[in-house]
């Protein structure tokens, strides 16, 4: 599902104008991104939690030149942990 699909589906079900739905979805995503950029967790009950994790620096090697060692610096990554209800619905189809 893309953002466009989501906008169209919500617009169809609620009767709201697509531009208004798009604006709300985009603003929501902007606020989530802003909070994560500040290092804050974003939690939606029964859906899941977005959190920032720091990956440690590590040593990498070029497969074509294994003797050449490259240091990969530490960096921030976004981790998503499913909520209880989402997890039960997703796992039901396994």
Alpha carbons within 13 A on the beta-carbon side of 73: 2
Contact 44, 51 (CB under 8 A): no
Q: For residue 40, what pLDDT is reported? A: 95
pLDDT of residue 5: 96
Instruction: Enter the tokens of residue 43.
Output: 């939690």
How confident is the prediction along the chain (94 residues), in pLDDT tens digits per residue?
Answer: 999 999 999 999 999 999 999 999 999 999 999 999 999 999 999 899 999 999 999 999 888 888 888 899 999 999 999 999 999 989 986 6
Which domains are present in the chain?
3-92 (4.10.520.10)
32 half-sphere exposure, CB direction, 13 A CA radius: 15
Q: With contact defined as beta carbons under 8 Å apart, do 49 and 41 qualify?
A: yes
Question: Can you give 48-77 as a three-state secondary structure string?
Answer: EEEEEEEECCEEEEECCEEEEEEEECCEEE
Q: By the 8 A CB rule, do 83 and 73 touch? A: no
């Amino acid at each position: 599902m893309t953002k466009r699909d989501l906008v169209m589906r919500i617009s169809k079900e609620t009767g709201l104008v697509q531009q208004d739905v798009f604006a709300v979805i985009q603003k929501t995503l902007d606020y989530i991104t802003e909070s994560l950029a500040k290092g804050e967790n974003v939690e939606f009950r029964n859906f899941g939690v977005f959190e920032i994790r720091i990956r440690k620096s590590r040593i990498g090697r070029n497969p074509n030149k294994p003797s050449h060692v490259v240091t990969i610096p530490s960096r921030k990554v976004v981790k998503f942990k499913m909520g209880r209800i989402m997890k039960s619905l997703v796992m039901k189809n396994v």
